[in-house]
Structure 1
Amino acid sequence: MNATHPAPATAGAPDPAAARPWLASYPPQVPKTIDEARIGTLNDIFRDALANYPNRPAAESFGKRITYAELGQKADAVASWLQGQGLKKGDRVAIMLPNVMAYPAILFGILMAGGTVVNVNPLYTPRELTYQLKDSGARFLFVLENFGATVEESLPEISLDRVVLVTPGDLLGLKGAIVNLVSRHVKKAVKPFSLPQAVAFKAVLAEGGKGKPQSVAVSPDDVAFLQYTGGTTGVAKGATLLHRNVAANVLQLEAWMIPFFGERQDHVMVTALPLYHIFALTVCGLLMTKIGGCQLLIANPRDIPGFVKTLQKSRITLMSGLNTLYNALAHAPGIEKVDFSQLVFAVSGGMATQEAVAKKWKQVTGQPIVEGYGLSETSPVVCANRLDIEEFTGTIGYPLPSTDVSVRSADGAILPPGERGELCVKGPQVMAGYWQRPDETAKVMTSDGWFRTGDVAVMLPDGQIKIVDRMKDMILVSGFNVYPNEVEDVIAKHPGVMEAAVIGLPDEHSGEAVVAYVVRKDPSLGADELRQFCREHLTGYKVPRRIEFRESLPKTNVGKVLRRALKEEVERSQPR
């Protein structure tokens, strides 16, 4: 991505935010702005939840629930233990966990102790883990025992005060012993490792529970999270999210969603995306805390049969996910036995939602998918569809309250509705910058204070935003721009297709050629039939030159298709 700053709007030109055409399309009960004077800390949100909803369930895992009062006790124990180990305000503490019951207690324990949370993908390789822990300067690491071998391999390269070993059964009472037994001996999910200096999470709770944590003066301007991301330039770096950034986004989401929640006070949010991912962290973990809801924690969303069985036994009112997850669930055996009658809405983010998936989801559940948009750098939510839509819109909706957006050309000029350009964002949820990377921060912040998302977008006349594609994924065919999302969306509409990924590969005639990799639903589907289908819906230069069928596509742990990894894999296999 070009490292130069776009030029600010021409002097004397009208402020692009002044018009804000999206405000006229807001539901009447949704405020245009949040009261930014009310933005406090995430600790304030947690304390309010403990005071207001002590007896409500805060989380559910493997059929066991924990109340807010119980969660508060465990978080206090974590905070007290960390302080006893010498944690000082601002010190970084890493969490390397899937969605297990211990996660919320550890998260809030770190924040209440005055620490900064560094979320780590548990599936990281030792190299990736080493880089993130060294870059963040984390002093402590909470890790699921299943990934102890990765930590052991990284230890010679990193400096940690303590490693805390968590089990899937922690905080589940007697049921936890069964969960651990199955994990270790039936599923054999724990590889052998040796971490002799590690502390068991149970020991942390026992030691920390002997006293109360010291009060720490945490302010909205203190760092809550270092949320690592490839960002718009592909280099892994920590988005520095202040308490005020994330707390603001929680208030923005509350303002957008609460009018549609109805009178009920017992919301249950299906939390299948991992909480180390910024979307689930804010939309599930923190928003549910703000409203006193319960998170239904799904430890392994890739186990679709197990996920469906959990849903069959649960009463759910809210759901979050992304395109691949909704697609897998909508086609899963047994999904027809899930009771979706109390589902208020299902929100989607993280990647583009395909129309074919949205239609199938509504057919199964009776509810449309409500798509939103955000990034790690924006805490994360920037835009969302209205929650009263009847059908999937294909857009990311409108900017949230107190959020400004503009679509800009390569030279920074603000483009009118209907023209494609880079989506830029301004609002209280935008990060403070990249951790210790002023050079990288400068690449994504304009001289007039807007964050450059790296996404190609179009603003519709009513202020809705439609994402066309990632800038770096655009394919150039004989001078024509081809956006993979568009081609993938068409391919996904074919009834014989389960999912698809489209990339550009070098071509001596056209510069790049469009190549599609497809997972079939119908094993009899052939490339010629699918190409003809594409010709009916796409201009000639957008039709895939090559179509290859595969059993699966490379994905992140949250199920997002990795075009870049696919492209690298294909390029490595090409003869040189």
Structure 2
Amino acid sequence: MSTVRELFLSSVKNFPDKTAVVEDNKRISYRELGFMVDSFSSFLTSMGINKGDTVAILLPNSIEFVVAFFSIASLGAVSVPVSTAFKKEEIAFYVNHSSAKLVITQEKLKPIAEEAVSDNNSSVVVVKGVNPEWIFTTADTNSLPKVSIEPDNEAIYLYSTGSTGKPKRVSRTHLNLVALADNHTETVGWTEEDKILFTIPISHTYGFGNFISSIKVGASIVVLGDFNRNKILELLEEESITVFPAVPIMLDVLAKTFLPEPKFILSQARYISRSALA
């Protein structure tokens, strides 16, 4: 296993009927996720996306983010995750600096995305919001191109925070991401039995590392688009979460959250992570 596509297909093959992603009331299996990825890959091809092209993902934690990333990787194209908290100028910098041909976003961010790309030739595609599901389910998967992806091909651009100036592009290859997932899951002992709650943005390096590792082992991931303390506490209990990647300030807020009655909601949790991946 040396490419992101191989990592993904391994979990689709080994855990077809297992829940892959949970978002609100939606649950999709690895088999369904595989079909959605192939369908969206076909759609991206129809939009002119080819191997080596860059595609910006301006989405919150969501099923659509997961599908978009693996679809882009399946074509040998390069993902550029962009924070949904960014202003127009920040989005424009990421899109222009990475030479993104396409921006994948949601309905409520469409106006700012279109403003951000107004000075270049990038296109904007809405996949979340007002009835976008057809993109994931009706594209002709028989027309998928045969793409030869090498381990040293670029898979993603994860930008630095820009604390000393403009954010700097950090390129990671397919093999980099596979090695990251291998090392992480072996070190912390994640398995297909884990249920992992994502409130940290997958667009961030820390969140993304946990995300790719989760899919690698066939775990179930529960995604939350924004930080909602009450919803987090509900999900920890209702979904029997076993792993909760977080940062200290999030844990501090949760610890100070008022509960109408005492609850022991972490009975299923194996650990809570609070430090970023190296």
Residue correspondence of structure 1 range 232-247 to structure 2 within 5 A:
233-247=164-178
1:276 is displaced (CA, Å) by 0.6
Q: How far is 1:207 from its partner?
A: 4.7
What CA deviation, in whole Å up to 9, does each residue of 1:489-541 have, x standing for no partner? xxxxxxxxxxxxxxxxxxxxxxxxxxxxxxxxxxxxxxxxxxxxxxxxxxxxx
Taking the aligned partners of 1:229 and 1:155, their CA distance within structure 2 comes to: 21
| Aligned match for 2:127, one of 166, 176, 195 | 166
Tell whether the 8 Å contact from 1:320 to 1:348 is kept in structure 2 after alignment.
yes
Number of the residue aligned with 1:347 = 273
Gaps of 5+ in 1: 1-38, 169-179, 181-199, 351-380, 383-576
Matched, 1:73 2:35: yes
Q: Is 1:90–2:52 an aligned residue pair?
A: yes
Q: What secondary structure does 1:256 align onto?
A: helix
3-state SS in 2 of match to 1:295: strand
Identity %: 23
Quick one: distance in 2 between partners of 1:218 and 1:66?
27
The aligned residue for residue 22 of structure 2 is 60
1:223 maps to which residue? 154
- Match of 2:108, SS state, is helix
Residue-by-residue CA offset, 1:98-137 (whole Å, 9 max, x unaligned): 1122111111011101110001011211111111111100
1:496-507 mapped onto 2 (5 Å cutoff): none
Corresponding position: 1:257 with 2:218: no
| 2:221 alignment counterpart | 295
Structure-to-structure mapping, 1:66-465, within 5 angstroms? 66-160=28-122, 162-167=123-128, 201-209=132-140, 211-230=142-161, 233-258=164-189, 265-283=192-210, 285-301=211-227, 303-334=228-259, 336-337=262-263, 339-350=265-276, 381-382=277-278
Higher RCO (CA-CA < 8 Å; seq separation 6+): 2
CA contact (8 A) 1:222 1:242 kept: yes
* Residues 447-475 of structure 1: per-residue CA shift (max 9 Å, x gap): xxxxxxxxxxxxxxxxxxxxxxxxxxxxx
* Pairwise CA distance, 1:74: 0.3
Does the 8 Å CA contact 1:76/1:212 hold for their aligned counterparts? no
Q: In 1, distance between residues paired with 2:125 and 2:163? A: 33
Change (3 A) 1:68 1:81: same
Judge conservation of contact 1:81–1:207 (CA < 8 Å) in 2: no
Aligned amino acid, residue 49 of structure 1 = S
Indicate the residue corresponding to 1:367 in structure 2: none
In structure 2, how many angstroms separate the alpha carbons of the residues matched to 1:265 and 1:206?
Answer: 26
Relative to 1, partners in 2 of residues 1:300 and 1:230: Cα closer, same or farther, differing over 3 Å? Answer: closer
Deviation at 1:329, TM superposition (A): 1.1
TM-score by length of 2: 0.92
| Distance verdict in 2 for CA 1:294–1:125, change over 3 Å | same
Amino acid at match of 1:72: G
Given that residues 75 and 105 in structure 1 are in contact (C-alpha distance below 8 angstroms), is that contact kept between their aligned partners in structure 2? yes
Aligned alpha-carbon RMSD (Å): 2.0
Output the CA distance in 2 between the equivalents of 1:129 and 1:348: 27
User: 1:338, CA displacement in angstroms?
Assistant: 5.2
Which residue identity lines up with residue 120 of structure 1 in the other structure? V
Counterpart CA distance in 2 for 1:142 and 1:116 is 13
2:273 maps to amino acid: V
**Contact 2:17 / 2:29 at 8 angstroms: preserved in 1?**
yes
Q: Kindly tell me: are residues 131 and 231 of structure 1, through their superposed partners in 2, closer, same or farther at Cα, counting changes over 3 Å? A: closer
In 1: Cα distance, 2:192 partner to 2:180 partner? 21
Q: Provide closer, same or farther for how the CA distance between residues 304 and 244 of structure 1 changes in structure 2, counting only shifts above 3 A.
A: same
Query: Could you list the per-position Cα deviations for residues 425-465 of structure 1 after superposition, in whole angstroms to 9, with x for gaps in the alignment?
Result: xxxxxxxxxxxxxxxxxxxxxxxxxxxxxxxxxxxxxxxxx
The whole-number CA distance in structure 2 between the counterparts of 1:214 and 1:139 is 18
1:126 & 1:74 partners in 2: Cα distance? Answer: 30
Secondary structure in structure 2 of the residue aligned to 1:166: strand
Q: Structure 2 CA distance, aligned partners of 1:106 and 1:152? A: 19
C-alpha displacement of 1:232: 6.8
**Is the 1:80–1:113 contact (alpha carbons within 8 Å) kept by the matching residues of 2?**
no
CA contact (8 A) 1:221 1:242 kept: yes
Indicate how the Cα distance of structure 1 residues 349 and 289 shifts in structure 2: closer, same or farther if over 3 A, else same. same
C-alpha separation between the residues in 1 aligned to 2:197 and 2:262? 17
- 1:43 aligned to 2:5? yes
Read off the aligned partner of 2:125 and give its amino acid letter. Answer: V
Q: Which amino acid aligns with 2:124?
A: V
CA separation in 1, counterparts of 2:82 and 2:273? 24
> In structure 2, what is the Cα distance between the partners aligned to 1:243 and 1:97?
22
Shift of 1:203: 3.9
For residues 242 and 133 of structure 2, the distance between their equivalents in structure 1, rounded to whole angstroms, comes to 32
Contact 2:200 2:246 in 1 (8 A): yes
| 1:547 aligned partner | none
Amino acid at match of 1:287: S
Instruction: Report the 3-state secondary structure (helix = DSSP H, G, I; strand = E; otherwise coil) of the residue aligned with 1:139.
Output: strand
Aligned to 1:411: none
Structure 2: gaps (5+ residues): none
What is the distance in 1 between the residues matched to 2:50 and 2:112?
A: 27
**Counterpart secondary structure, 1:93:** strand
CA distance in 2 between counterparts of 1:296 and 1:206 reads: 21
SS at match of 2:117: helix
Distance 1:329 1:215 in 2: 47
Change over 3 Å in CA distance of 1:312–1:333 after alignment to 2: farther
Question: Once the 2 structures are TM-superposed, how far is the Cα of residue 63 of structure 1 from its aligned partner?
Answer: 3.1
Change (3 A) 1:167 1:86: closer
Helix, strand or coil at the partner of 2:100: coil
